[in-house]
Structure 1
């Protein structure tokens, strides 16, 4: 391309020198400016795992609210006849229209072909010498020969009765516990308690932690040093000690667990908010607010805390599963929710003694805990193009 040596030789048309009229636009802006929240929401929607986490949380909340009304059982209803029944039944066919299920402890139940439990068979005849149990089901003899392992189930002719079909337990989709309570409705009630503990305790520790960290960071100097030393002393005390002290004051139960988690989980968020406030309090808008005569409280609540909301949202999304997991662990060791109330932690604790014979009792509450923790972590760890969604 030939370079122009003398710009004075360029012939510019006179039309280009006419002034632009006011009604004419020199250029047109494309799109609109976005706020931090709008920009964060766009990035959030682009993260599939975060959307999946939101869907899981909405599903759990709806199930916790409306699920108990769809079940014919209450969380405390007991049926000793149908105790320790699994979610799937290996039924055997005795004759046309007669089916039965034999559980691991050799108790027999009559069922329909599609998995509806009818009744528990009465006490069998015991043959201790031959190591056999003999049931009478609809006029037919069923012999359980446990002389050798694995045991065999025979009819009156000595023929082995094989498993006819593996069907879903229609009355109790998640099975029953060791005293015949429906595990499905107990897991649903456990969702209520676990989500309440997670939400309420997070609101408590969020309120305390954000205000404590903001005041400490904004005040600075000796006030900041004293407040941070207090935080470090409290963080050095084991949470179990708080639990024991508060249980002596308030007694065990949902209220105590919520208070314990709310009063001990704010220490981390206070430190994070303090660090953000220290970096923001020298900003120009803070200086402008001081010049305009704004009080320190107004500067903290109206200017500084709103500008730390990104990191607060991430911390909240991490605190809720942490609170749920803490409640589950406290209930697991017997320091949480009292019977007959059900939380996912108490259900896991109750399932532990029969883990080898009835593993399904632990599977469903453990799955619920895992799904909830993962869902909130998907929301809190939302990143798009290596950038946090709300920061």
Structure 2
């Protein structure tokens, strides 16, 4: 049997020559090193629905803060002569080219309004003479009589004498961009003021939820044993009380208002956060680094603040983000049934409640607050989903 002997190339063989490498080649080849939070921001920025929700929330907060300040109208100022104006005006031309005037017929209250070329409402046309027998209202416009006949529906606008009427351009209401309500108040300003109330209640409830829920759930999970048993039974008792009944009891003691709503939501809204934090702490407290810190004599406060809570910040942020739309919806529902803010204050719930009464004639009054509630809840849910994915360390690249 022939024995195979490996042949080795001599050391001066060019195949054994060292490769040339520049000093910064390793940095060029290696991937950029990013911290955990930099990676979170990068992944969140790639999530388009989450970024759209974040941009919407920022714009909503800015509009709620500065919008009522910049508007010429007040959220409580009433003008009954301009009640129930829609945001879009279907005008009619009265008179000829020399005395051309645009008017708008509000079929809800059977009034006639003047409109200028820019779309601004000049006011209710004076001199309206009502003929209750023939079910007509007569105005003097441009030297001729303009008659609104509402003996049959829809009302018909006609002119006796003069060159007659012709359809005018459709214009956006530049005086009241979102129209007015049944008391002649600007819907846009009340919408922005309602955003203040709804967001204030949501953020206060979330802040209380964060402070109480994280502290309570963290202590319950870390101490364990009988302490955990007693603390969790308290949470279960609080969670079994219907929120509506709890708010009604708060109203009896403190009277209805914004403070009562914030206290009612803030005092019972933290139980979900406490359960989530407790579950995370129960998982993390058995880790080796916690045992090492306890062995070295670190106090409970130090272990909680430096080791356990920082490792639960992801679920805490996601839960807090998800609870904000729930708080907004609860406040809107309470205001809708009359247990929220009191007039003349406005929230999205009170705007919705007021608009239901005039839904068939003026649907725009319900459209704007309902749309605001829906878009805000979508925005916070998209942001919460994006944060949940961005904060997951298993998705880190």
TM-score normalised by length of structure 2: 0.90
Deviations 1:221-263, CA, capped at 9 Å, x for gaps: 1111111111111111100122122222322211111111111
Pairwise mapping of residues 247-266 of structure 1 onto structure 2 (< 5 A)?
247-266=251-270
Change over 3 Å in CA distance of 1:153–1:27 after alignment to 2: closer
Paired residue for 1:198? 202
Paired residue for 2:216? 212
Q: What is the CA distance between 1:107 and its match in structure 2?
A: 0.8
1:173 is matched with which residue: 170, 173, 177?
A: 177
Partner of 1:154, secondary structure, is strand
5+ residue gaps, structure 1, are none
CA contact (8 A) 1:153 1:160 kept: no
Change over 3 Å in CA distance of 1:9–1:360 after alignment to 2: same
Q: Does 1:97 align with 2:100?
A: yes
Partner of 2:312, secondary structure, is helix
Q: What is the CA distance between 1:337 and its match in structure 2?
A: 0.8
Q: Which moved more, 1:112-121 or 1:47-56?
A: 112-121
CA RMSD of superposed structures (Å): 2.5
Paired residue for 1:279? 283
5+ residue gaps, structure 2, are 393-397
Pairwise mapping of residues 272-351 of structure 1 onto structure 2 (< 5 A)?
272-351=276-355
Q: What is the CA distance between 1:137 and its match in structure 2?
A: 2.3
Q: What is the CA distance between 1:71 and its match in structure 2?
A: 0.6
1:11 is matched with which residue: 6, 9, 12?
A: 9
Q: What is the CA distance between 1:27 and its match in structure 2?
A: 5.5
Pairwise mapping of residues 106-255 of structure 1 onto structure 2 (< 5 A)?
106-122=110-126, 124-157=128-161, 161-255=165-259
Deviations 1:90-124, CA, capped at 9 Å, x for gaps: 11111133121110221111121332111212363
Task: Give the length in aligned residue pairs.
Answer: 382
Pairwise mapping of residues 350-365 of structure 1 onto structure 2 (< 5 A)?
350-365=354-369
Q: What is the CA distance between 1:8 and its match in structure 2?
A: 4.1
Q: What is the CA distance between 1:157 and its match in structure 2?
A: 4.2
CA contact (8 A) 1:91 1:101 kept: yes
Change over 3 Å in CA distance of 1:17–1:150 after alignment to 2: closer
Q: Which moved more, 1:41-50 or 1:123-132?
A: 123-132
Deviations 1:237-295, CA, capped at 9 Å, x for gaps: 10012212222232221111111111111111111111111111011111121122111
Change over 3 Å in CA distance of 1:8–1:347 after alignment to 2: same
Deviations 1:174-220, CA, capped at 9 Å, x for gaps: 00111111111111111111111111110001111111111111111
CA distance in 1, matches of 2:5, 2:142: 111
Change over 3 Å in CA distance of 1:142–1:6 after alignment to 2: farther
Change over 3 Å in CA distance of 1:141–1:304 after alignment to 2: same
**Runs of 4 or more above 6 Å deviation:** 14-20, 23-26
Deviations 1:62-115, CA, capped at 9 Å, x for gaps: 111111121111111111111111111111111133121110221111121332
